[in-house]
Amino acid sequence: MTTLRITINGRAYGPMDVRDDLTMNDFLRESLGMTGTKFGCGAAQCLSCAVIVDHPDGTSSTSPTCVVPAASFDGKAIRTVEGHAKNGELSALQKAFIEHFAFQCGYCTPGFLNEAQVLLERLARAPVARADLEKTITEALDGHLCRCTGYIKYHEAVRSVILADPGRYLVAKVDR
Ligand code: FES
Ligand code: FES
């Protein structure tokens, strides 16, 4: 057993005792009833189970949850798909996913949403040139599998959010 303290979507949970073999995915879905985080391959191959981890230095990244013990998240702050909408208002990414028909069955969507959010936060810290944007999005979403093959629509949705606020996410064009 491990005593777990964790912050999820800004809310503190614990201290609570968790079995050492309890995965983070089971902790979220079974212990907390937060079923927005999906379970796909169960082998760290599809990332449908990915959540956002907020690091002390202000950066963020995603982590699979299917093969990772809940206990290893002790002391950490994470975000799940349930945390994106604020006061009932969908995030810009969520709206773009809908507007671009980015998902079909939706099973992979929480993972794509979390990855895209991490990308937005990275670009807000370190903008890229417009010429590098397509490659940047492709590389960021790489590793997320969609059995309904919605890759292009996800890509277009993420691009639309970035292009809607170029001053925030892109390096300013220099006039010569
Ligand atoms: S369910 Fe975790 S990577 Fe596929
Ligand atoms: S929308 Fe069905 S798996 Fe991606």
Which pLDDT value is given to residue 172?
A: 83
* Ligand 1 first shell, C-beta below 6 A: 39-42, 44-49, 64, 66
Question: Using one digit for the tens of pLDDT, what is the confidence trace for 102-160?
Answer: 999 999 999 999 999 999 999 999 999 999 999 999 999 999 999 998 799 999 999 99
Cα separation of 66 and 104, whole Å? 22
Residue 174 burial by CB count (10 A; 0-12/13-18/19+): exposed, middle or buried? exposed
DSSP SS3 for 127: coil
Task: Say if residue 173's pLDDT is above 80.
Answer: no
104 CA: nearest ligand 2 atom: 1
Task: Say if residue 175's pLDDT is above 90.
Answer: no
* Ligand 2 first shell, C-beta below 6 A: 103-108, 146-148, 150
Rounded to 5°, the CA angle 116-117-118 comes to: 90
Give the distance (Å) from ligand 2 centre to CA of residue 113: 12
Contact indicator for 82, 9 with CB cutoff of 8 Å:
yes
Give the distance (Å) from ligand 2 centre to CA of residue 49: 13
Which residue is listed with tokens 């639309």? 160
